[in-house]
Structure 1
Amino acid sequence: MDIKPLLKVTLVFTLCVIMMGAYTRLSDAGLGCPDWPGCYGMIKVPSASHELTAAKDAFPDHTVESEKAWLEMIHRYIAGTLGLMVLVILIMSLRKADAPKKLPLFIAALIVFQAALGMWTVTMKLMPIVVMSHLIGGFALFSLLLLLYLRSKPLRIPGGDAPARKLSAFALICIGVLLLQIILGGWTSSNYAALACTSLPICEGNWVDNLNFSAAFSPFQGDHPSYEFGVLDYSARMTIHVAHRIGAIITAAMLLWLAFKLITKAHSTTIRNAAWLLAGLVVLQVILGISNVVLHLPLGIAVSHNAGAALLLLTLVFINYALWRKA
């Protein structure tokens, strides 16, 4: 049985999980259910009067907010479905003699770890380092599934495209820079620092003198009953936001330069098309990022910004695969 169609569906499904996770987080619904994997001890959100009574008895310090609880549970349902899809991919890969074995095993291990991070996100009350790790794990899963798909579908670049391959080292640096920027974005979101600066191009006021890197980037932020809505002071959040903005400028410049060089140097239509897609996604991400600031983080644009980052990473993974694979 051909594994490629299932991998295509799984890739789309993974993007949906990433977007749903962003929607849940940005809707402040990450603690919509105070327990895991159920919700108030049930497999669905309690709604009947006896269920609400039981929920209140079991969790006297919490009030059932159905809308937020359903967002959280829908995210868990689709994440669980994704886990089953990855399990099927692993079984199919192990049964197929010529299919990769190590990569599907690693992907399966990653999704188990992702489930643990999902649990810790709730039990540790949205601790930023856990929330950010959960986000990065989703991006890593997305990228590894694409790699598995590319390995199951041989990519042929006519003539090897030597001019494009000369950019392989720079392309690898670009993917590292993008990963750092995605981590910065996750840290910004998990610390509720997205609106710490509301003016362009960097921040309002005398922001240089208020930078506080030690507080901003410490993974340990003390013991708190909950980290929902953030526990850092303004200077720390502003520092995180400024770092993310400066990182965005550097990342956009490097990725656009890579796209320009590939468009002008590559012989392969496949690589040139990927470079055009990369350039388009960078421009779109910049527009979405500016819109988040100007419009004060509207939910739809903020979720789209997360999805755009995932698609940017996927495009760079493809470009690196094409440039580094043996001719």
Structure 2
Amino acid sequence: MQNTYRPNSPIPQGSGAEEFSSNLDESLLANLRRCLYALAGLTLFLMALGSATRVMNAGLACPDWPLCYGEFVPSAQMNLQVFLEWFHRLVASTVGFCTIALVGVSWWFRKSVPNWLPWAALAALALVVFQGVLGGLTVIELLRFDIVTAHLGTGLLFFSLVLAIAVGLTPLQTTTVAAHLPWLGLTATLLVYLQSLLGALVASQWALHLCFSESELCGVMNAHLLGIIPASLAALTVAIATWLTPDKTPLLDRLSQLAGLLLATQLAVGSATFRLHLQVEPLTVTHQAVGAALLGTLLAYTLVAWRSRAATRSTESPA
């Protein structure tokens, strides 16, 4: 039986060489994929920009919200800190408008796209709205640590969802994939996400500075340091297990290698950041950005592995 990309399936299936089902618009789907990958990249940049805003103590550079000093462009008050906060809001607004456009396009052309896409787009928009509320509360509540942590956690969820939609629209090879690979990927993804939240707690409370200077919040810092072990082992297991497993796709191989490279980079940058007591701002920003990239890579790996297995089972099922 020919494996096709079926609109009523919750998971798009099929290889790049196969034709889409007749009621799906292949050109539209290709354009949506490109836009979604671009939106995921823009979101990754936004999170790095948010980290730069925090480490440069610019989180309250604009005392009001959503405007800055009551203006869209606060030219009279503009300095590096004000620019960082203002630019962060500008990029966030761009992400929001892009998400609104995604919702509009997916619902307008809902008969030409997989039936799960409009609902996934609505979920992404809900996260954007919630993220906007958290952004406003971050300013109003003067950078309260739990709100700042939730702000980053929601940003990572939005980034993950946009990336998941893009991967869901990407045609894949129908190839046998070992059953343990998707579960290894999912475990590593969850552990890296939890580790990212612990890192957000450390950053939002300046726990590293306080622990070194006043011996306060050392428990928060130590929790993040201990969390490195399971998250790193899980990501390393994905890379090694994929290398040793014959039942895989070339894409899974590349993603696992990228995950291993990002893990090594993250450990090196994190170690340098810790030893230098967060005194080198670009290192701190890189640490968060590489962590988010590692999360996205592991998520993509997991989805590719599960979709490839689902496609294989579909081809093996009786007509």
Normalised by the length of structure 1, the TM-score is 0.80
Aligned to 1:167: 181
After superposition, give the CA deviation of every residue in 1:89-148 in whole Å (9 maximum; x if it has no partner). 111111222241110000011101111110000001000010011111111111111111
Aligned to 2:143: 126
Structure 2: any 5+ residue segments left out of the alignment?
Answer: 1-27, 312-319
Kindly tell me: are residues 92 and 65 of structure 1, through their superposed partners in 2, closer, same or farther at Cα, counting changes over 3 Å?
closer
Partner of residue 101 from structure 2, selected from 88, 92, 99: 88
Structure 2 residue 283 is the aligned partner of structure 1 residue 269: no
Partner of residue 7 from structure 1, selected from 32, 36, 48: 36
Partner of residue 129 from structure 2, selected from 112, 136, 143: 112
Aligned to 2:260: 279
RMSD of aligned residue pairs (Cα, Å): 1.7
Instruction: Between 312-321 and 171-180, report the one with greater CA deviation.
Output: 171-180
Kindly tell me: are residues 7 and 38 of structure 1, through their superposed partners in 2, closer, same or farther at Cα, counting changes over 3 Å?
same
Amino acid at match of 2:101: V
Aligned to 2:6: none
After superposition, give the CA deviation of every residue in 1:39-70 in whole Å (9 maximum; x if it has no partner). 122222251xxxxxxxxxxxxxxxx6732222
Distance in 2 between residues matched to 1:304 and 1:293, nearest whole Å? 13
Structure 1: any 5+ residue segments left out of the alignment?
Answer: 48-63, 199-232
1:157 Cα deviation after fit: 4.1
Distance in 2 between residues matched to 1:78 and 1:273, nearest whole Å? 30
1:323 Cα deviation after fit: 2.2
Normalised by the length of structure 2, the TM-score is 0.81
Kindly tell me: are residues 32 and 235 of structure 1, through their superposed partners in 2, closer, same or farther at Cα, counting changes over 3 Å?
same
Aligned to 1:248: 228
Q: Contact conserved, 1:139 with 1:310, CA < 8 A, in 2?
A: yes
Aligned to 2:191: 177
SS at structure 1 position matched to 2:208: coil
Amino acid at match of 2:281: L
Partner of residue 271 from structure 2, selected from 283, 286, 290: 290
1:255 Cα deviation after fit: 1.2
Distance in 2 between residues matched to 1:253 and 1:140, nearest whole Å? 22
Q: Contact conserved, 1:174 with 1:251, CA < 8 A, in 2?
A: yes
1:11 Cα deviation after fit: 1.6
1:196 Cα deviation after fit: 4.7
Aligned to 2:282: 300
Distance in 1 between residues matched to 2:205 and 2:78, nearest whole Å? 23
Q: Contact conserved, 1:117 with 1:130, CA < 8 A, in 2?
A: yes
Structure 2 residue 45 is the aligned partner of structure 1 residue 16: yes
Aligned to 1:103: 120
Structure 2 residue 306 is the aligned partner of structure 1 residue 310: no
Distance in 2 between residues matched to 1:27 and 1:300, nearest whole Å? 10
Amino acid at match of 1:253: L
Structure 2 residue 81 is the aligned partner of structure 1 residue 68: yes
Q: Contact conserved, 2:62 with 2:85, CA < 8 A, in 1?
A: yes
Distance in 2 between residues matched to 1:110 and 1:21, nearest whole Å? 17
1:194 Cα deviation after fit: 3.0
1:256 Cα deviation after fit: 0.6
Kindly tell me: are residues 314 and 157 of structure 1, through their superposed partners in 2, closer, same or farther at Cα, counting changes over 3 Å?
farther
Q: Which has the higher contact order (CA 8 A, sep 6+)?
A: 2
Distance in 2 between residues matched to 1:155 and 1:29, nearest whole Å? 43
Distance in 1 between residues matched to 2:214 and 2:190, nearest whole Å? 29
Aligned to 1:260: 240
Distance in 1 between residues matched to 2:74 and 2:277, nearest whole Å? 31
Amino acid at match of 2:184: F
Partner of residue 135 from structure 1, selected from 152, 158, 165: 152
Aligned to 1:145: 162
Amino acid at match of 1:70: F
SS at structure 2 position matched to 1:81: helix
Aligned to 1:190: 204
1:191 Cα deviation after fit: 0.3
